[in-house]
Amino acid sequence: MKHISKDTVKKAFKATIPVMTGYLVLAIGFGILLKTKGYGLGWAIAMSGFIYAGSMQYLTIDLLCGGVSLVTTAVTTLMVNARHLFYGISMVERYKDTGKKKPYLIFSLTDETYSLVCSEESIKGVENPKEYYFLVSLFNQTYWVVGSIIGSILGNIIPFNVEGIDFVLTALFVTIFVEQWLTTKEHRPAVIGVLASVLCLMILGGDNFLIPTMVIIILLLMIQKGKLEFKE
């Protein structure tokens, strides 16, 4: 196995600390909720290991309990995670030549991981960006799996009220957005994203705005591609 520098490990861990704080709490809530529905530790580990999608994992609990068909589950999953199509397109060049790590990098590209690896600032001073991408992805999933295990165990011995705990993910998004805003001088992509999201939310409502929003953002960024210049 190729040696990974300690500096890269430290930088990746430091970058994922905000994600860790959010993932642990949210995953603990997932583990507890899953246990209250009659699904134990094995289910928590399997879902966090193989599904690894926060919002979809919470939704999967309802799908499991409701006896929903596989076709409905597949369509629902596609709609909930459609935004990852756009994430993947934007990461094609960054994940190029990552060898055997590429399948895992693709699988583990969550919203939070994407936010940490999508900018040039994130790999500043990193000796091997490919290893950095892998470590960020691995650390983040580890936090989620560990949190799910803790939640499942706690749910087995202590009664909890988990109403509203999923707001932690929203708070995490806000924190990451603010950090990226402060670390770059080019704010047009962020402004485009916010305005497109608000506009589509107002017009289409909370259940239908996500995919149109992503399409509009991609189109506007493609139009602005030649004009955008990212600076430290």
Top-confidence residue, 96 or 225: 96
CB 23 within 8 A of CB 140: yes
Domain boundaries, the chain: 6-169, 184-232
The fraction of the chain above a pLDDT of 70, given in percent, is: 84
- Residue 231: what pLDDT? 46
Top-confidence residue, 80 or 51: 51
What pTM was estimated for this model as a whole?
Answer: 0.71
Q: Can you read off the two tokens belonging to residue 90?
A: 């934007």
Cα 72 from Cα 6, distance rounded (Å): 45
Average pLDDT of 144-160? Answer: 89
Top-confidence residue, 199 or 121: 199
Q: Can you read off the two tokens belonging to residue 115?
A: 């936010």
Amino acid type, 126: V
Asked whether residue 67 carries a pLDDT value surpassing 80, the answer given is: no
Asked whether residue 228 carries a pLDDT value surpassing 70, the answer given is: no
Using the Cα atoms of residue 94, residue 96, residue 98 and residue 103 in order, give the sign of their dihedral. Answer: positive
CA angle, residues 232, 133, 213, in degrees to nearest 5: 70
- Residue 226: what pLDDT? 59
* Nearest Cα residue to 82 out of 219, 208, 221: 208
- Residue 230: what pLDDT? 47
- Residue 225: what pLDDT? 63
Structure confidence at residue 164 as a pLDDT band (50, 70, 90):
low
Cα 110 from Cα 140, distance rounded (Å): 9
